[in-house]
């Protein structure tokens, strides 16, 4: 069920996103390139949480495309030489390697703008302003970008981060967009977003622990980006702080927590539970 | 009247913007730094066009702060080494010189996000979604960022741009935000934005011609940034294409056009007319 729905939603969200990229120049080409790959997990969370609350794919596809645009923008900027300096993303050259740094800066900028434009579409419905406001908070100075700033500060800090600091950093850097994705469907249906928030908070942390495990155990070709970078840089990660086995145990516990949070939805939420299990089983 | 209202609106917009910058870290500090200076012309256009349409400063101050945030974000990214590589902005070190490139990328990213968050505030009123949608179009792939991409492409093009291409480039790069600023007040009052659009289109072009003239005639210390860069780079500008005198004549004609476009508002629009005259008389 999950894999099928993931394929379906990522296809719909990507088509919607690419349809919204206009012009024929280098900028549009690089924007399409930057959003062509990836699992589409955030867009899936939007569309599946929407379906769970009785909101149609037609209404939820633009918020799904929007969150994928924000995610892609953050990766393009994160890969820049002045940030993580990565040459490979999703198995292909990063935008600044395929084009140049200026193009990568502009592609990220334009993708962020496009995300907000997508959320203004009539089909999104009455929750538009709330979705825009919550996405801005999740993506900005109090969310994702805040987490990235903490991450950069940590690189030059004299003492590696402790576990609480890593959790706070990741709650911003990757957690905020995952939470927004899961809550979006509830907001579109004017339902209580609390269960989806609890689900996403636990799942987001499990996702990041799994990422740290992949950085140690993963194969660069399968993962689609460089691995072993954190250990080489002496960076504190869940694996360096907890050890590999304890990190795996913690991730599995968080996935159980995520599944339990969906109890109010009963069997209807099974696809979302599968998604939570997937994040710690994936190999990329 | 104009100088007084410019001082007033830029103070209000900056206070609103700085109030919306939370946290105490480096990111917040650098966001405040990047938005501390500048003339505040775009925010003035928002608030004065709003006043002209009977919309209070209390309602228009957030859209004014939003456009100043977008303008500041574009300058921070534009100044990066991979873009224009500028060390000085508004007479002070650029963000990447005072901090580093990673901080400059994140500051620009967070300021763009903040702009959209500001527009979701209740006080902005019913036009919120339309203001967000039009700002996204003005700032993104079809507006400002499109103009910047054309500008980068022009730098490596074998043949310098001709006058029509320069006009198209500038209509995106600087014109789109100036048009949005002038139209915002009309949109907030559900009035016809056409006269404000005509005003801003002529004024935006005059503004850019004046910028090119300042790059030739201006004093770096007064202008607050490096001058003579375009000529040194062999870049086509309004001055290189028209000659200095014809460029001045053209700018003055455009200012007259801008003033004439405000005829439907009679004497009430005198402050906006003064603003148009100011853009070709300024020394920075």
Cα–Cα distance for residue pair A63/A125, rounded to 1 Å: 11
With an 8 Å Cβ cutoff, are B109 and A105 in contact? Answer: no
CATH number at residue B112: 1.10.600.10
The minimum CA-CA distance between A281 and chain B, rounded to whole Å, is: 32
pLDDT at A283: 76
Res. A233 pLDDT band, cuts 50 70 90: confident
pLDDT in tens, B175-223: 999 999 999 999 999 999 999 999 999 999 999 999 999 988 877 777 7
Cα-only R_g, chain A: 18
pLDDT at B235: 81
With an 8 Å Cβ cutoff, are A103 and B152 in contact? Answer: yes
Contact B40, B105 (CB under 8 A): no
Q: Give chain A's mean pLDDT.
A: 94
Of A2, A21, A101, the C-alpha closest to A68 is A21
Question: Is pLDDT of A156 > 90?
Answer: no
With an 8 Å Cβ cutoff, are A102 and B117 in contact? Answer: no
Q: Which residues, 6 or more positions from B250, have their beta carbon under 8 angstroms from its beta carbon?
A: B209, B238, B242
Q: How many domains is chain A partitioned into structurally?
A: 1
Contacts B102 to A, Cβ<8 Å: 80, 82-83, 152
The per-residue DSSP string of A146-187 comes to HHHHHHHHHHH-SS---HHHHHHHHIIIIIHHHHHHHHHHHH
With an 8 Å Cβ cutoff, are A149 and B22 in contact? Answer: no
For A129, the token pair is 């302003």
Residue A233: CB atoms within 10 A of its CB come to 11
* Number of A–B residue contacts, CB under 8 Å: 142
Q: Which residues of chain B have pLDDT under 70?
A: none
CA distances from B258 to B174, B176, B181, B186, B202 (A): 16, 15, 14, 16, 5
Give the length of chain B: 284
Considering chain B, what percentage of its residues have pLDDT values greater than 70? 100
CA distances from A175 to A128, A146, A186, A239, A273 (A): 22, 12, 18, 18, 17
The conformation of residue A89, written as its DSSP 8-state character, comes to: E
pLDDT at A131: 98
CA A243 to chain centre: 25
The minimum CA-CA distance between B57 and chain A, rounded to whole Å, is: 21
With an 8 Å Cβ cutoff, are B120 and A106 in contact? Answer: no
Considering chain A, what percentage of its residues have pLDDT values greater than 70? 100
Interface test with B, best of A79, A82, A107 (most B CBs within 10 A): A82
Closest Cβ–Cβ partner in B114, B129, B142 for A128: B129
Contacts A173 to B, Cβ<8 Å: none
Cα–Cα distance for residue pair B46/B13, rounded to 1 Å: 10
Q: Where are the alpha helices (DSSP H) in chain B?
A: 2-20, 26-34, 41-52, 57-78, 95-98, 101-119, 128-139, 144-156, 163-170, 176-188, 194-217, 220-223, 229-232, 238-242, 244-261, 270-281
Question: Is pLDDT of A137 > 80?
Answer: yes
Q: Which residues, 6 or more positions from A145, have their beta carbon under 8 angstroms from its beta carbon?
A: A139, A172, B27, B106, B109, B110, B113
With an 8 Å Cβ cutoff, are A101 and B110 in contact? Answer: no
Of B3, B79, B15, B76, the C-alpha closest to B41 is B3
Give the length of chain A: 284
pLDDT in tens, A48-85: 999 999 999 999 999 999 999 999 999 999 999 999 99
With an 8 Å Cβ cutoff, are A145 and B82 in contact? Answer: no
pLDDT at A155: 83
ipTM for the complex shown:
0.95
pLDDT at A58: 97
- Which domain, by its residues, includes B174? 2-281
The minimum CA-CA distance between A172 and chain B, rounded to whole Å, is: 13
For A212, the token pair is 């740290």
Contacts A102 to B, Cβ<8 Å: 80, 82-83, 152
pLDDT in tens, A241-284: 999 999 999 999 999 999 999 999 999 999 999 999 999 988 77
Interface test with A, best of B30, B113, B129 (most A CBs within 10 A): B113
Question: Is pLDDT of A33 > 90?
Answer: yes
């Amino acid at each position: 069920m999950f894999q099928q729905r993931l394929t379906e939603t990522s296809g719909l969200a990507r088509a919607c996103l690419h349809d919204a990229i206009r012009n024929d120049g280098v900028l549009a080409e690089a924007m399409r390139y930057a959003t062509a790959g990836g699992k589409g997990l955030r867009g899936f969370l939007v569309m599946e949480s929407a379906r769970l609350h009785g909101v149609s794919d037609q209404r939820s596809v633009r918020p799904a495309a929007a969150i994928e645009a924000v995610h892609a923008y953050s990766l393009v900027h994160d890969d820049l030489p002045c940030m993580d300096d990565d040459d490979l993303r999703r198995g292909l050259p990063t935008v600044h390697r395929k084009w140049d740094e200026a193009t990568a800066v502009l592609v990220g900028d334009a993708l962020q703008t496009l995300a907000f434009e997508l959320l203004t579409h009539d089909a999104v419905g009455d929750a538009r302003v709330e979705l825009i406001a919550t996405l801005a908070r999740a993506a900005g100075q109090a969310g994702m970008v805040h987490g990235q700033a903490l991450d950069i500060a940590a690189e030059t800090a004299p003492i590696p981060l402790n576990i609480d600091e890593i959790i706070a950093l990741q709650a911003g850097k990757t957690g905020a967009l995952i939470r927004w994705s899961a809550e979006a469907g509830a907001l579109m249906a004017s339902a209580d977003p609390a269960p989806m928030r609890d689900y996403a908070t636990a799942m987001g942390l499990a996702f990041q622990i799994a990422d740290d495990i992949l950085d140690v155990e993963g194969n660069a070709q399968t993962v689609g980006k460089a691995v072993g970078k954190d250990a080489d840089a002496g960076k504190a990660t869940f694996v360096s702080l907890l050890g590999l086995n304890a990190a795996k145990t913690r991730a599995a516990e968080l996935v159980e927590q995520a599944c339990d949070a969906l109890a109010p939805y009963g069997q209807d939420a099974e696809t979302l539970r599968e998604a939570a299990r997937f994040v710690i089983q994936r190999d990329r």
